[in-house]
Amino acid sequence: MSLRIGIVNGTRVGDPARLAAQIVSGVGFLGAGTIMQAKGKITGLTSAATIWVVAAIGIAVGAGMYFEAAGAGALVAVVLGGLGKLEYHARRARRSVRMVVRTTPGVTLQELSDLIEGQGIRITGQRVFDHASDRVFELRLSGPARQYDVLRQVLSKRADILASHVY
């Protein structure tokens, strides 16, 4: 057991809490490394939290608290299993967003509408602004949350679409 660290001839010469403090700071550093930000999305929060809680369970085992560690492990398994199902349902839920699409001047609203509706998303409102060098579409969209990522990928592959942003 880690609690025996720092005991010489029955006398404590150190502080075992320092071991736990170093684990917490080291694992915090590792957890922070798993958090990523790209294109306005943050990923890795669940992984970082899981790394941290597993370290806490390890500290409990090191302290001889086996029952508590087993209970925490079971609780973590239940929560992570439930979060997976919750995420699945949340990504399938309908969501309304605003999207701005900047295209070359020749793109028509019907052409863009066919592309968007082909991904299972409805256009509930639109405004079109023509400029000398581009055409800007401000759209209100409604559809499954997971389809917006697919739509952005489809739009990014087209040469006549210069940029797209979801708000």
Which pLDDT value is given to residue 125?
Answer: 93
Q: Residue 3 gets which letter from DSSP?
A: G
Helix (H) or strand (E) holding 138: strand 135-144
Give me the amino acid identity at 34.
T
* Contact assessment for residue 121 and residue 135, using Cβ atoms and an 8 Å cutoff: no
Which pLDDT value is given to residue 1?
Answer: 54
- Sign of the dihedral through C-alpha 41, 39, 102, 151: negative
Which of left, alpha, beta for 138 (phi over 0: left; psi -120 to 50: alpha)? Answer: beta
Give me the amino acid identity at 98.
R
Which pLDDT value is given to residue 145?
Answer: 81
Q: Which residues pair with 99 in a beta bridge?
A: 139, 166
- DSSP string computed for 83-121: HHHHHHHHHHSEEEEEEEEEE-TT--HHHHHHHHHTTT-
**How far apart are alpha carbons 50 and 52 in whole angstroms?**
5
Is the overall model pTM greater than 0.75, yes or no? no
**How far apart are alpha carbons 21 and 27 in whole angstroms?**
10
Which pLDDT value is given to residue 78?
Answer: 93
In this model, does residue 2 exceed pLDDT 60?
no
Range scoring the smallest mean pLDDT among 7-21, 39-53, 85-99, 146-160: 7-21
Which pLDDT value is given to residue 3?
Answer: 61
